[in-house]
Amino acid sequence: MNYQFDFSFLWDPDNSYWRDILHGTWLTVELTLLAIVLGFTLGAACAIGSTSRMPALRRAIAVYVEVIRNTPLLVQTFWLFFGLASIGFKFSAFTAAVIALTVNIAAYTSEIIRSGIESVRKGQIEAAESLGLSRMQLLFDVVLPPAIERVLPSLSGQFVLMMLATSIMAQISTEELMAAASRIQSETFRGFEIYIVVAVVYLALTVALRFAFALLAWAAFPRRRRLGTPV
Amino acid sequence: MTLHATAPAPAVEPAAAAPAVRFNAVHKSFGTLEVLKGISFAVGRGEVVCLIGRSGSGKSTALRCINGLERITTGSIDVCGHVVSPDGRADLHAVRKRVGIVFQSYNLFPHLTVEQNITLAPRRVKKTAPAEARAIAADVLAKVGLSDKRDSYPEQLSGGQQQRVAIARALAMQPEVMLFDEVTSALDPELTGEVLKVMEDLARGGMTMVLVTHEMAFASRVADKIIFMHQGRVHEAGPRDMLSRPETPELRQFVGTGL
């Protein structure tokens, strides 16, 4: 073994691969943020729906959650991008990636938030009902804040996993970080170096994402900020 | 003429004389288990009524039917001019705006400060302006002697303090009737004392109160009427000295073991 590390291709004046990596990183960030915002919204809606009084709605959500959580993201993505295209519904790779990630993460988010909702003691709900709060007020003022505070660690962990899973979107030619790396690899044959670079970038993104979640928790939960105890 | 002189019944009953709460042959079943087997009683305005009885006698269930936490099976309950019926949830919102309830387990909202716990319902349900809601909170906190705990979170308070906040939270909605469901059962004697004192102040202030309680001494001192429930029925009812001269063997046994 006498391997000579060579990262100089990154600054190759003819190709400037570092720009491709930067561009890919940006796309990964975009995909992640979009999927987190949309997936959280859809997932929270599903979690709320799964506590509804309509059995049909509860069942529909349960089926959705189970189907998504028990099939590979790659299969879901291919079905969306190639499957639907074959019957006439065509998306751009980026759109398909956002939809696939959103639909996927929302199923997990729904289950996590539902467990948070179920952790809210029945007595608090009775107290809120007795005070005359409507169902929506009860949900947004009494149930969701402690529910989400409790499950935030699980949620942020799930979102980090999803951020890493955006690399799967390279398979439908979304030009994110992983796709950029593969292309550079095939042009430079510097696989050893390029995937180290990519791993470091993912690691940095993970750290940044976790930090962002910690910041969000600090801003959103004043009780925890003051007391530092779990709700 | 003499008849009128001895029985001066008013021609029209003034609204204020109508009972605040009246149970009309209320039945309540959980599945096949009948918990309330047709109970009827009235709570006059300004009255303090204590429901006593063994565990499982239906007293808590009866209390929880008043504001619709449990749905009655048949019969009806008149509450402050509104009707709680087996099917109709139409009046429930109106009833809940007029009836406050305090629970055994306090049930404060853990993520909100004491003040936020109290102002939530006035702001959301009555659309009270924030400044006014805070003024109401200051007022009710003074009543329960916890003005200095305004910015604390529930977990920073003792059980007795939490329960007093829960009372303040209910009072902030300016209810016509207050329900207390074994509110001191989770407290040690010292903390029980501070909560009972707040309740006694409320009673002296003319609040209509319905209590499920095991505090026989408190019932004997404060209650205008005591209702002994046994196996889902009103078994014996009477004034506050009823406990010292029970008429039925069941109450005699209950008081004998309860004191």
Q: What is the pLDDT of residues A55-102, one digit of tens each?
A: 999 999 999 999 999 999 999 999 999 999 999 999 999 999 999 999
- Residues B137, B177 contacting (CB under 8 angstroms): no
Q: State the pLDDT at residue B256.
A: 83
Say which CATH number the domain at A160 has.
1.10.3720.10
Structural tokens at position A171: 């398979």
Residue in B84, B101, B111 to test binding to A, most A beta-carbons within 10 Å: B111
Structural tokens at position B168: 């303040």
Q: What is the pLDDT along chain B (259 residues), one digit of tens a residue?
A: 444 444 444 444 445 568 999 999 999 999 999 999 999 999 999 999 999 999 999 999 999 999 999 999 999 999 999 999 998 666 888 999 999 999 999 999 999 999 999 999 999 999 999 999 999 999 999 999 999 999 999 999 999 999 999 999 999 999 999 999 999 999 999 999 999 999 999 999 999 999 999 999 999 999 999 999 999 999 999 999 999 999 999 999 998 854 4
User: Of the candidates A127, A132, A227, which has its C-beta nearest B153's C-beta?
Assistant: A227
SS3 assignment, position A90: coil
Burial class (CB in 10 A: 0-12, 13-18, 19+), A173: middle
Residue in A119, A130, A151 to test binding to B, most B beta-carbons within 10 Å: A130
Beta bridge partners of A194: none
Q: State the pLDDT at residue A12.
A: 81
Per-residue pLDDT band for A221 (boundaries 50, 70, 90) equals very high
Tally the domains of chain A: 1
User: Rounded to an integer, what distance in angstroms lies between the CA atom of residue A161 and that of residue A142?
Assistant: 29
- Is A141–B153 a contact, with Cβ atoms under 8 angstroms apart? no
Contact residues, chain A, for B125 at CB < 8 Å: 131-133, 137
Question: If interface means Cβ-Cβ distance under 8 Å, which residues of chain B face chain A?
Answer: 67, 69, 93, 96-97, 99-101, 103, 105, 107-113, 120-121, 124-125, 153, 155-156, 166, 169-170, 173
User: Of the candidates A123, A126, A223, which has its C-beta nearest B153's C-beta?
Assistant: A223
Q: Measure B152 CA to nearest chain A CA, in Å.
A: 9
* Residue recorded with tokens 């991008």: A81
The rounded Cα A224 to chain-centroid distance in angstroms is: 24
State whether residue A223 sits within 8 Å of chain B by CB. yes
State whether residue A146 sits within 8 Å of chain B by CB. yes
First to last CA, chain A: 55
Smallest CA–CA distance from A150 into chain B, residue: B111
Q: For residue A150, what is the enclosing H or E element?
A: helix A144-165
Q: Give domain status of residue A133, yes or no.
A: yes
Of B118, B108, B120, B113, residue with least CA distance to B153? B113
User: Rounded to an integer, what distance in angstroms lies between the CA atom of residue B194 and that of residue B158?
Assistant: 11
Q: Give domain status of residue A1, yes or no.
A: no
Provide the residue ranges of all domains of chain B, joining segments of one domain with +: 21-257
Q: Measure A136 CA to nearest chain B CA, in Å.
A: 11
State whether residue A90 sits within 8 Å of chain B by CB. no
User: Rounded to an integer, what distance in angstroms lies between the CA atom of residue A73 and that of residue A62?
Assistant: 18
Amino acid at B79: V
* Residue recorded with tokens 């200051």: B138
- Is B121–A231 a contact, with Cβ atoms under 8 angstroms apart? no
Smallest CA–CA distance from A223 into chain B, residue: B111
Contact residues, chain B, for A227 at CB < 8 Å: 153, 155-156
Q: State the pLDDT at residue B11.
A: 44
Question: With pLDDT > 90 as the criterion, what percentage of chain A qualifies?
Answer: 87
* Strand-strand pairing, B225-230 and B48-53: parallel
Q: Give domain status of residue A3, yes or no.
A: no
Residue in A117, A124, A131 to test binding to B, most B beta-carbons within 10 Å: A131
Q: State the pLDDT at residue A13.
A: 80
- Is B109–A127 a contact, with Cβ atoms under 8 angstroms apart? yes
> What are phi and psi for residue B84, nearest 5 degrees?
-95, 115
- Would you identify the CATH topology of the domain B21-257? Rossmann fold (3.40.50)
Secondary structure, 3-state, chain B: CHHHHHCCCCCCCCHHHCCCEEEEEEEEEECCEEEEEEEEEEECCCCEEEEEECCCCCHHHHHHHHCCCCCCCEEEEEECCEEECCCCCCCHHHHHHHEEEECCCCCCCCCCCHHHHHHHHHHHHCCCCHHHHHHHHHHHHHHCCCHHHCCCCHHHCCHHHHHHHHHHHHHCCCCCEEEEECCCCCCCHHHHHHHHHHHHHHHHCCCEEEEECCCHHHHHHHCCEEEEEECCEEEEEECHHHHHCCCCHHHHHHHHHHC
Q: Give domain status of residue A94, yes or no.
A: yes
* Strand-strand pairing, B21-30 and B33-43: antiparallel
- Residues B158, B144 contacting (CB under 8 angstroms): no
Contact residues, chain B, for A147 at CB < 8 Å: none
Contact residues, chain A, for B93 at CB < 8 Å: 132
Q: Which domain does A131 fall in, by range?
A: 14-227
